[in-house]
Amino acid sequence: MKEVVLEARELHRTYHLSRGLMKGRSTLSAVSGINLQIERGTVLGLVGESGCGKSTLARLLLGLEVPTAGQVLIDGQSISSMDRLERARKIQIIFQDPNSSLNPRKTVLSIVTLPLRIHQIGDRREREQRAVEMLDLVGLPRRVLGSLPGDLSGGQRQRVAIARALVMRPEIVICDEPTSALDVSVQSQILNLLQDLRDQLGLTYLMISHNLAVVQHMATRVAVMYLGRIVEETDARTLFAAPQHPYTRILLNSILTPEPDKGLPETALGVSFPNPLDLPPGCRFHPRCPEAMAVCASEVPSVIPGQSGGTIECHLYNDADRLSR
Amino acid sequence: MTRMLEVEQLNVRFSLANGVLHAVRDVSFHVESNEILGIVGESGCGKSMTALAIMDLLSRRAKRQVSSLKFCEQEIAHLSFRKMSKLRGDRMAMIFQEPMTSLNPVYSIGDQLEEVYLRHRGGARAEARRRAVSLLDKVGIPAPEQRLRQYPHQLSGGLRQRVMIAMALMCEPDLIIADEPTTALDVTIQAQVLALLKQLQREFGMAVILITHDLGVVARMADRVLVMYAGEIVESGPTHEIFDNPCHPYTQGLLRCLPRTLDSKEIGVRLGTIPGVVPSLIGETRGCAFANRCPHAFDACEQATIQNAVSEAGHNYRCVLSVDQSLMHFRETVE
């Protein structure tokens, strides 16, 4: 049995939005009841459309956002019992756009050593030494230490962001769309680097991406998210070879691989993206689902065991539901 | 088929404090009617500048030089701003990447759609409204009459991009330039919007220039492809030829960088990379612009002017390697 390093138990996060004067409030449930387990040294890919709650989930796991209900455990310990610095030593994040996640007025040296200064580690010389080691690790030349982010290319900036995330030697790194702001040739360099770092340092990644090809390339397991719920979670190879949930199938079908013969895929989804403030009854996906049955509109599907030790949330795979149809 | 657009020796330059930046260098191509031409390349390769130069929408700091720019066999390179304004939005239209920034937030969707029609065709507002409703319906927006009264922020990203497409179609243009039309959208919505664009293109028999950095999008959409690098077209030809037999080392490199999907047997394989960075576009370049990153570069690449080696079916590339040599290199690295 492998060791679970990051776990989410029944995580909920709801926001109360004002609808205007004297109108009361409406509830937006961004994350509603998420269970996740990531084993040490593996990569969990998290996919889903924008607005499905991927980033809220990342913020909850980082402890930047307090869950409405449920808890996050790192190495079996609840993060609500840790202080901010302790949490930051265990889990770090790499953001999508290095242009906005790096301070344009600070040098690379200052950016990479900031976590060390906050945690009061080492003296000035030791910190500089650590920064140099980190640059070597992410494949940047030492001469960029004195550069400002503006002097660097997009790929180099993302390397600086990776160096900063790893300088505290965290166990878990959340990569939130780490390559979507980059060109194809730079994307492949960064993905190779992330893979090397995982092998060298034994890191665990949560890889959030809307680029399914990237997730397939990197992930050991994949979780598919739809409107605040994980609808299917399984081994990456199984998921890409035999997707079960209708939504997963549609997602995989929309990948545009560079094969001119295949033409454009038929997506069976309607145009209407559901309003997260007014969730449909029953299965959240049923208004867009090409295989919806009568039961889908009335009853919320329960989580049932899926392929390769995963889970799936769909009436199609629940025998009891099928029989009662 | 007629030639809808013919561009010969297009150059776009910027005069900067430290020299002249050549954003687009000697670019020549054409688009047939009823054809989708894909232009693909990484950021800074000059693909968007080419589009803006055709529409004469470059900023004032940019200098456009073109030996011939023919639209429907008519020279438009020297048209005045006023005459170009008559063409733009009427016979040639543009769809931009981010619909949120190209739609005006303080006017309703209806006002913005009708404005295009009224401006170019005149006539009564009721007629413009009828056209707007029928086009919104055509691009798959439910309840179009109600949508006309809404503002851009009330629509989702996919719907906004559909509105942009409807707006481009208001006057039934002969040519549409779509600059990264689906980059800001989710994969599922992207597939829908692209399918819509292709269906409308076939239906109206338009010429479309599709600009993108996504090789998957051009592969599935385009009839012909131009690959741009450092302001030049490095390879062009029918989509099949480009993807099956890429001849330029840059095109080959791009294809190797892609994570292969679905049919890949091994997980954890390393991706191909293109080492080095794009050269500075300031000042004159000699020889091949890709030479400093090319795995097959030799002395001749940095000196010689580069011949366009031609294979059958209009497949051209800019490289000193012969077709056999370069395809041999490609097969070696792929298998």
Question: Which tens digit of pLDDT belongs to each residue from A81-104?
Answer: 999 999 999 999 999 888 889 999
Q: Is A260 on the interface with B (CB under 8 A)?
A: yes
Q: What is the mean pLDDT of chain A?
A: 90
For residues B86 and B117, membership in a common domain is answered with no
**pLDDT digit string (tens) for B210-219?**
999 999 999 9
Question: Which domain does B215 fall in, by range?
Answer: 1-91+174-244
Chain A residue closest in CA terms to B271: A188
The structure's pTM equals 0.88
Q: Name chain B contacts of A190, Cβ cutoff 8 Å.
A: none
* Cβ contact A244:A231 at 8 Å: no
For residues B50 and B147, membership in a common domain is answered with no
For residues B33 and B125, membership in a common domain is answered with no
| C-beta atoms surrounding A133 within 10 Å | 12
Q: Is B243 on the interface with A (CB under 8 A)?
A: yes
What percentage of chain A has pLDDT greater than the value 70? 94
For residues B72 and B54, membership in a common domain is answered with yes
For residues B59 and B181, membership in a common domain is answered with yes
Specify the 3-state DSSP secondary structure of B15. Answer: strand
For residues B166 and B188, membership in a common domain is answered with no
- What is the per-residue pLDDT for A325? 46
- What is the per-residue pLDDT for B35? 95
- Cβ neighbours of residue B328 closer than 8 Å, sequence gap 6 or more: none
**pLDDT digit string (tens) for B195-238?**
989 999 999 999 999 999 999 999 999 999 999 999 999 999 99
Last residue of a domain, one of B152, B170, B188: B170
CB interface of B with A, residues 54-83, below 8 Å: none
Domains and CATH numbers, chain A: 4-219 (3.40.50.300), 243-325 (no CATH)
Q: Name chain A contacts of B265, Cβ cutoff 8 Å.
A: none
User: Any idea what DSSP says for residue B198?
Assistant: H
For residues B137 and B11, membership in a common domain is answered with no
- What is the per-residue pLDDT for B332? 77
Q: Is B105 on the interface with A (CB under 8 A)?
A: no
CB-based contact A192 B253, cutoff 8 Å:
no
For residues B54 and B202, membership in a common domain is answered with yes
Specify the 3-state DSSP secondary structure of A72. Answer: strand
Compute the C-alpha angle B314/B315/B318, nearest 5°.
125
State the complex-level ipTM. Answer: 0.83
Position with higher pLDDT, A2 vs A57: A57
Alpha helices in B25-89, H assignment, sequence order: 47-55, 81-87
Determine, yes or no, domain membership for B267. Answer: no
- What is the per-residue pLDDT for A270? 67
Last residue of a domain, one of B125, B153, B170: B170
Q: Is B307 on the interface with A (CB under 8 A)?
A: no
User: Among B142, B188, B257, whose Cβ lies nearest the Cβ of A184?
Assistant: B257
- What is the per-residue pLDDT for A321? 57
C-alpha–C-alpha distance, residues B102 and A199, integer Å? 44
Q: Is B116 on the interface with A (CB under 8 A)?
A: no
| C-beta atoms surrounding A274 within 10 Å | 17
Determine, yes or no, domain membership for B67. Answer: yes
User: Among A183, A262, A267, whose Cβ lies nearest the Cβ of B43?
Assistant: A183
Determine, yes or no, domain membership for B240. Answer: yes
Size of interface A-B (CB pairs under 8 A): 134
User: Among B220, B261, B267, whose Cβ lies nearest the Cβ of A213?
Assistant: B261
User: Among B43, B194, B218, whose Cβ lies nearest the Cβ of A264?
Assistant: B194
C-alpha distance from A56 to closest chain B C-alpha (Å): 18
pLDDT-derived band at B286, boundaries 50, 70, 90:
confident
For residues B255 and B307, membership in a common domain is answered with yes
CB-based contact A188 B272, cutoff 8 Å:
yes
C-alpha distance from A325 to closest chain B C-alpha (Å): 29
Determine, yes or no, domain membership for B266. Answer: no
pLDDT-derived band at A5, boundaries 50, 70, 90:
very high
For residues B62 and B202, membership in a common domain is answered with yes
Q: Name chain A contacts of B218, Cβ cutoff 8 Å.
A: 258
Q: Is A199 on the interface with B (CB under 8 A)?
A: no
Torsion of the alpha carbons at A297, A298, A300 and A306, rounded to the nearest 10: -60
CB-based contact B187 A195, cutoff 8 Å:
no
- What is the per-residue pLDDT for A271? 56
Specify the 3-state DSSP secondary structure of B36. Answer: strand
Say if residue B290's pLDDT is above 70: yes
CB-based contact B195 A236, cutoff 8 Å:
no
Say if residue A319's pLDDT is above 80: no
CB-based contact B258 A50, cutoff 8 Å:
no
Q: Determine whether A132 is exposed, middle or buried from the number of CB atoms within 10 Å of its CB (0-12, 13-18, 19+).
A: middle
Range B270-281 average pLDDT: 84
Residue type at position B153? H
Position with higher pLDDT, B57 vs A274: B57
**pLDDT digit string (tens) for A6-19?**
999 999 999 887 76
Say if residue A27's pLDDT is above 90: no
CB interface of A with B, residues 124-183, below 8 Å: 153-154, 183
CATH number at residue B222: 3.40.50.300
Name the least confident of A254-268, B69-83, B168-182: A254-268
Structural domains of chain B, count: 3
| C-beta atoms surrounding B77 within 10 Å | 16
CB-based contact B188 A255, cutoff 8 Å:
no
C-alpha–C-alpha distance, residues B301 and B277, integer Å? 17
- What is the per-residue pLDDT for B88? 93
User: Among B198, B254, B273, whose Cβ lies nearest the Cβ of A189?
Assistant: B273
Q: Dig out the tokens for B255 from the structure.
A: 């294809």
CB interface of B with A, residues 266-285, below 8 Å: 267-268, 270-274, 277
- What is the per-residue pLDDT for B306? 75
Say if residue B264's pLDDT is above 60: no
- What is the per-residue pLDDT for A323? 55
Say if residue B80's pLDDT is above 60: yes
CB-based contact A189 B190, cutoff 8 Å:
no
Q: Which of B248-252, B277-281, B330-334 has the highest mean pLDDT?
A: B248-252
CB-based contact B260 A213, cutoff 8 Å:
yes
* Cβ contact A67:A36 at 8 Å: no
What percentage of chain B has pLDDT greater than the value 70? 96
Q: Name chain A contacts of B42, Cβ cutoff 8 Å.
A: 183-185
C-alpha–C-alpha distance, residues A231 and B17, integer Å? 56
For residues B76 and B202, membership in a common domain is answered with yes
pLDDT-derived band at A166, boundaries 50, 70, 90:
very high
C-alpha distance from B73 to closest chain A C-alpha (Å): 30
Q: Dig out the tokens for A171 from the structure.
A: 């166990």
**pLDDT digit string (tens) for A174-216?**
999 998 888 888 899 999 999 999 999 999 999 998 888 899 9
**pLDDT digit string (tens) for B122-134?**
889 999 999 999 9
C-alpha–C-alpha distance, residues B45 and B232, integer Å? 8
Q: Is A264 on the interface with B (CB under 8 A)?
A: yes
Distances (CA, A) of A122 to A42, A117, B99, B290: 31, 8, 49, 45
For residues B240 and B251, membership in a common domain is answered with no
